[in-house]
Amino acid sequence: MKLLTIVIFMIILAVTLMITYWAARRTRTTSEFYAAGGNLSARENGFALAGDWMSAAAFLGFSGLVSLYGMDGSLYAVAALAAFLVVLMLIAEPVRNTGRYTFGDVIAERMKRPGARLATIVGTVVVNLAYMVPQMAGAGALIKLMLGVPYDVAVVLVGIGMIVYVLFGGMIATTWVQIVKAMLLLVAACVLVSMLLAAVRFNPLALFASVERLYGSKMLASGGYFHHPLDTMSLFISFIFGVAGLPHIMTRFYTVPDARTARKSVLWLMFLAGSFFMVTTLIGFASAVFVGQDAIRAADKGGNLALPLLAQYLGGGAGSLGGQIFLASICAIAFAAILAVVAGLTLASSGAIAHDLYVNVLRKGAVSDAEQVRVARIATVAVGIAAIGLSLLAQGLNVGVLVILAISVAASSNFPIILLSIFWRRFNTAGVIGGVIGGLTSSVALAFVGPAFMGSHALFPIVNPAIVSLPIGLFSAWLCTMLSRPTPTQDGDFEAFYLRAQTGIVCDATSSRSSR
């Protein structure tokens, strides 16, 4: 069994390393390292975005939640379908028109103050690390199941893999690994759903009837996981506004040549990821019926291994060759998925440290391309080590819940400042700093004292804190803006920025003021 698993793992790993080698030979400039040269098509970037979003942590975590808690778990998947509407309508085009490599570029283009860029660095790194931890925790659980390797050793291996991808291949390697991973996940999902439907004679109602017979009608109703009446609303707030604040999603819009292509790539993403997440409810319920909740909890108390265990069952069981092959294939694909996602997160974090902090704050832009890429690679190693350390603490937690908590942090700290930067004339650097501090501290604090970490002893009753922390972030940004003095050139600067954000037309702020 272990030999078969190792062979399948090595095949997929070899493919991704070949992509990294190919990309490394084409990664020479700063633009190629951060943005793949900005030449991707809408379809290529859409598949890469889907690869970014269809994380194995979400795939494993969402199906695991459904298997243990019923319909409440499916809300995580349903919310994902609406998440990119805000990105499509409000964020994609302005980000592409005003930024170059990082989330901080968009804010700095408007504010032109070091303090504003420093605030975005903090928001970027914290959100990315929070998003990275569940991915690596999922990988640790997978490898522990497959190879019997200790969790901490598995996490270190994942960390080394993501560092290698980014260190040598940059965004080009990350993009194509994500594209390949998205295709593999879609194929795996199709095969898995086809097999589970065949097991119930292509009658999904029979599956739901079996769930009700085994676990009662409560599995098909709300309240299994969410116990507070505001939990569902907070979940949707987290998704709808949080995705628009994820730095590693924003950076993907710099890899295309224009805003129109950026919008089209979001449409590709919505079709691909929407189709993918719609099936997690079926997979979760099928896991509960065929594998059993006791077996799922025994393998991983967070439910993260429900999907691989279902694959093993549908392939013929633990003792059959088919079951072993299918289990090994699903786990290997999920492992590749995790490597692709954490590579994107690592790249976005290293970009914030190297491009925003080192180049634009410390060196005031006086840095060569070669030096910037070198600093970005050093930052990649540092981010990777930090992610490994934090992931070692996440064993046993449901990775799907951790993903949404990371998105809640993004909704509370990053989304308010990018929204207000694009649409509010009075907004300034003080507002950026206040919004990041208020949203970040409130969301992280409420998450740690909430049910996801403290269980029945939680001090804050709502799983996803965005329903409280997002208004705190917005209020903090508004209050700090109103308490500070507006700059004399603020109106003209805003008009030039707004014109560029919405149309891509570059207009000098001085001429904008003189025309008024």
Q: Is the CB of residue 404 less than 8 Å from the CB of residue 435? A: no
Question: Could you tell me the residue ranges of all domains in the chain?
Answer: 2-398
Q: What is the pLDDT of residues 140-172, one digit of tens each?
A: 777 776 677 788 888 888 888 778 878 877 888
The CATH code of domain 2-398 reads 1.20.1730.10
Looking at residue 514, its pLDDT comes to: 40
pLDDT band at 221 (very low <50, low <70, confident <90, very high): confident
Q: Is the CB of residue 101 less than 8 Å from the CB of residue 248? A: no
Closest CA to 262 of 38, 3, 10, 507: 38
Inter-helix orientation angle 42-53/151-199, to 10° = 110
Dist CA 449 CA 409 (whole Å): 14
Looking at residue 14, its pLDDT comes to: 83
Residue 491 has pLDDT above 80, yes or no: no
Average of per-residue pLDDT across 481-486: 85
Closest CA to 357 of 384, 380, 376, 385: 376
Closest CA to 383 of 350, 430, 416: 350
Within 13 Å of residue 446, how many CA atoms lie on the same side as its CB? 24
Q: Is the CB of residue 61 less than 8 Å from the CB of residue 401? A: yes
The 8-class DSSP code of residue 357 comes to: I
Q: Is the CB of residue 280 less than 8 Å from the CB of residue 60? A: no
Q: What is the pLDDT of residues 440-462, one digit of tens each?
A: 999 999 988 988 788 788 899 99
Please tell me whether the overall predicted TM-score, pTM, comes out greater than 0.75 for this model.
yes
Cα distances (Å, whole numbers) of residue 184 to 253, 429, 489, 514: 23, 44, 51, 56
Chain centroid to CA 250:
11
